[in-house]
C-alpha cells in the first residue's frame, strides 16, 4: 500500500514537473502583496469605469477601418493628445503606400495612415506598450455603433482593440494620478495597419523592440486568458493574366485566367497539412468580365499559418512554384502569366524563459487582484510576435476581455476595463522597478 502511494506520489510529482516544463509557466509564481500605494492606484481606477466607458463609446463610434485614413488619423489625434497631457513627447511615424499586383480596373494597393510614437524617458526598465488604432470594419460595414447591456458592450473594436487602448491609457493615467509616471521610461507605439499585417509599421515595431526591456501589447484578453505562443502568419496575392475572347465565336482563341486560377487554387489549398500545423486559405477571389467573355484576368488572396519559421519559408517557395507553372493550357503556356506578391508578415511567437517570466508575473499579480487568468496558445498573430522575434520579451493580451472579434458579434465585458487597467498599472509599476 505504502509503495503504491509512494509510486502515485512520485508519478504525480513527475507529471506536474512535466506539465510545468512542457507548458513553461508555473501556476505557483508568487508576487509580493499589494502595497498601500498600489491599493490607492486600484481604488482610483475603481472610480473610472464611467469615464473609461465614455471614452470607449466615443472612439468605437469613430470608424477606423484600416483603409479609412481619416478615421484612423482622428483616433491618433485623440490618443496623441491624451498621452501628451500625461507628459509624453509625441511623434509621427510615416505610413506608406504598399503596392500590390491587381487586375486592370481593380486596385489593391494599401495606403497606410501614419502611426504614432509617444515616449518619455525615466529610470528603471524600459517598457514598450503597443496597440493598434485600426479595425477590420470599413466605413461601409453595417456594424458601426457602440452599445451596452449590463456588463456586456458591443461594437466594432470594443475588444479588438479599442477596449485595450482605453485599458492602456487608464493604467498610465492611474500612475500619473499618484505621481508615479514621471520617473518611468515608457514608449507607446500605436500603429494604424495591424489588421493588414503591420506591413508598414513592422520596421518601427522592430526598431523599438531592440531598445526596450519589456513589451506589452493590449490585444484582448479573450475569456480572461493570456496567449503564450502563436503561429506564424503569411499572406500572398496573385494575379493571373490570360487572353479575352468571345465565349461563342472564338472560344479556342481565349486563355481563361479563371480556369488557370482554379487550378492554382486547388494546388495552393493542398499545401494545408493539419499534422504539421501548416494551413493555407484562399480567402478572396475575383476576376472575369462577362458571362460570355473568356476571362482575361483573375486574382486571389491567400492566408498562411505555420508553427515554425522554416515551414513559412517552404510554403512561400511552394507558392512561387505554383505561380510560375501553368496547369490549364499545356499548349503555348506562355500565353498565361502570373504576377504575385507574398510576405511572411508575422513570425511564430515562441515562448522564452523571459516571456514566461513576464506571463507568470502578470498572472500572479492578477491573483493578488482577485483575477483568475488562464493561459493558452493561438493560431492568430499580433504585433507581439514581431517584437518577441527580435528579442523583446512580450505579453500580448493585456487588453479588456471579449469575444467575437472580426465579426458583428464582437463584444466585451464592461467590468474587465477597470480590472485590466488595475492589472497593467501594477505590472508597469513593478516591471519598471526591476
Ligand atoms: Zn487586434
Tell me, yes or no, whether 392 and 352 share the same domain.
Answer: yes
Ligand 1 center to 22 CA (angstroms): 28
pLDDT at 2: 39
**At which residue does the C-alpha cell 472579434 appear?**
405
Ligand 1 center to 331 CA (angstroms): 47
Angle value at C-alpha 175, between 174 and 178, nearest 5 degrees: 90
Tell me, yes or no, whether 267 and 220 share the same domain.
Answer: no
In a domain, 44, yes or no: yes
* Grid cell of 147 as nine digits: 452599445
At 282, which CATH number?
A: 3.30.70.360
Angle value at C-alpha 186, between 184 and 190, nearest 5 degrees: 155
Could you give the strand order of the β-sheet that contains 337-346, starting from the edge strand earlier in sequence?
Answer: 279-287, 297-306, 232-241, 337-346
Tell me, yes or no, whether 54 and 172 share the same domain.
Answer: yes
Q: Which residue among 290, 314, 346 closes a domain?
A: 346
In a domain, 96, yes or no: yes
pLDDT at 26: 57
Ligand 1 center to 360 CA (angstroms): 22
Ligand 1 center to 13 CA (angstroms): 39
In a domain, 7, yes or no: no
State the CB neighbour count (10 A cutoff) for residue 214: 24
Ligand 1 center to 160 CA (angstroms): 4
Tell me, yes or no, whether 83 and 215 share the same domain.
Answer: yes
Ligand 1 center to 173 CA (angstroms): 22
Ligand 1 center to 262 CA (angstroms): 32
Question: d(Cα 255, Cα 263) in Å, to the nearest integer?
Answer: 13
Can you say how many angstroms the Cα of residue 380 is from the centroid of all Cα atoms in its chain? 7
Question: d(Cα 291, Cα 175) in Å, to the nearest integer?
Answer: 63
* Grid cell of 28 as nine digits: 505557483
Q: Exposure of 412 by Cβ count < 10 A (0-12 exposed, 13-18 middle, 19+ buried)?
A: buried
In a domain, 12, yes or no: no
In a domain, 373, yes or no: yes
Ligand 1 center to 195 CA (angstroms): 7
Question: d(Cα 158, Cα 383) in Å, to the nearest integer?
Answer: 18
Ligand 1 center to 422 CA (angstroms): 21
Ligand 1 center to 380 CA (angstroms): 10
Ligand 1 center to 202 CA (angstroms): 15
Question: Computed over its alpha carbons, how large is the radius of gyration of the chain?
Answer: 25
Contacts of 173 (CB under 8 A, 6+ apart): 48, 86
367 is in which domain, residue-wise? 36-230+348-432
Q: Which residue among 346, 361, 380 closes a domain?
A: 346
Whose CA is closest to 326, among 278, 267, 392? 267
pLDDT at 29: 85
Ligand 1 center to 389 CA (angstroms): 18
Q: 340 - beta bridge partners?
A: 238
Ligand 1 center to 397 CA (angstroms): 9
Which parts of the chain register pLDDT below 50?
1-23
Ligand 1 center to 229 CA (angstroms): 16
Q: Which residue among 312, 346, 380 closes a domain?
A: 346
Helix 257-269 and helix 309-324, axial crossing angle in degrees, nearest 10: 150
Tell me, yes or no, whether 353 and 309 share the same domain.
Answer: no
Tell me, yes or no, whether 277 and 328 share the same domain.
Answer: yes
Ligand 1 center to 368 CA (angstroms): 27
Number of domains within the chain:
2
Quick check: 72 and 64 in contact, CB under 8 A? yes
Whose CA is closest to 238, among 321, 313, 305? 321
Amino acid at each position: 500500500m505504502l509503495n503504491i502511494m509512494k509510486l502515485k506520489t512520485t508519478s504525480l510529482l513527475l507529471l506536474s514537473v512535466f506539465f510545468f516544463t512542457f507548458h513553461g509557466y508555473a501556476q505557483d509564481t508568487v508576487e509580493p502583496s499589494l502595497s498601500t500605494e498600489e491599493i490607492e492606484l486600484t481604488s482610483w481606477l475603481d472610480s473610472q469605469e464611467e469615464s473609461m466607458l465614455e471614452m470607449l463609446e466615443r472612439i468605437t463610434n469613430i470608424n477606423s477601418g484600416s483603409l479609412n485614413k481619416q478615421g484612423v488619423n482622428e483616433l491618433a489625434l485623440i490618443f496623441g493628445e491624451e498621452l501628451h497631457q500625461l507628459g509624453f513627447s509625441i511623434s509621427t511615424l510615416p505610413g506608406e503606400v504598399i503596392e500590390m499586383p491587381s487586375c486592370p480596373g481593380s486596385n489593391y494597393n494599401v495606403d497606410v495612415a501614419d502611426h504614432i510614437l509617444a515616449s518619455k524617458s525615466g529610470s528603471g526598465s524600459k517598457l514598450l506598450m503597443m496597440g493598434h488604432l485600426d479595425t477590420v470594419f470599413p466605413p461601409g460595414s453595417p456594424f458601426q455603433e457602440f452599445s451596452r447591456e449590463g456588463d456586456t458592450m458591443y461594437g466594432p473594436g470594443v475588444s479588438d482593440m479599442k477596449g485595450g487602448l482605453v485599458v492602456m491609457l487608464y493604467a498610465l493615467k492611474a500612475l500619473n494620478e499618484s505621481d508615479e509616471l514621471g520617473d518611468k521610461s515608457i514608449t507607446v507605439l500605436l500603429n494604424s495597419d495591424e489588421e493588414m499585417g503591420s506591413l508598414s509599421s513592422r520596421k518601427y515595431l522592430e526598431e523599438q523592440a531592440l531598445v526596450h526591456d519589456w513589451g506589452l501589447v493590449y490585444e484582448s484578453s479573450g475569456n480572461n486568458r493570456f496567449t503564450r505562443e502563436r503561429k506564424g502568419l503569411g499572406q500572398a496575392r496573385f494575379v493571373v493574366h490570360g487572353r479575352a475572347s468571345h465565349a461563342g465565336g472564338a472560344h479556342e482563341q481565349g486563355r481563361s485566367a479563371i480556369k488557370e486560377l482554379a487550378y492554382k487554387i486547388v494546388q495552393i489549398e493542398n499545401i494545408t497539412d493539419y499534422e504539421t500545423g501548416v494551413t493555407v486559405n484562399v480567402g478572396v477571389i475575383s476576376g472575369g468580365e462577362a458571362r460570355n467573355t473568356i476571362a482575361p484576368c483573375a486574382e486571389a488572396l491567400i492566408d498562411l499559418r505555420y508553427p515554425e519559421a522554416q515551414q513559412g519559408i517552404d510554403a512561400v517557395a511552394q507558392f512561387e512554384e505554383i505561380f510560375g507553372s501553368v496547369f490549364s493550357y499545356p499548349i503555348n503556356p506562355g500565353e498565361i502569366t502570373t504576377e504575385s506578391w507574398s510576405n511572411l508578415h508575422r513570425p511564430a511567437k515562441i515562448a522564452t524563459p523571459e516571456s514566461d517570466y513576464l506571463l507568470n508575473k502578470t498572472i500572479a499579480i492578477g491573483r493578488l487582484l482577485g483575477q483568475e487568468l488562464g493561459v493558452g496558445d493561438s493560431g492568430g498573430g499580433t504585433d507581439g510576435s514581431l517584437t518577441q522575434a527580435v528579442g523583446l520579451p512580450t505579453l500580448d493580451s493585456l487588453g479588456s476581455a471579449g469575444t467575437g472579434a472580426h465579426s458583428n458579434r464582437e463584444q466585451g465585458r464592461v467590468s474587465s476595463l477597470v480590472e485590466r487597467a488595475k492589472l497593467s498599472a501594477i505590472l508597469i509599476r513593478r516591471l519598471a522597478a526591476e
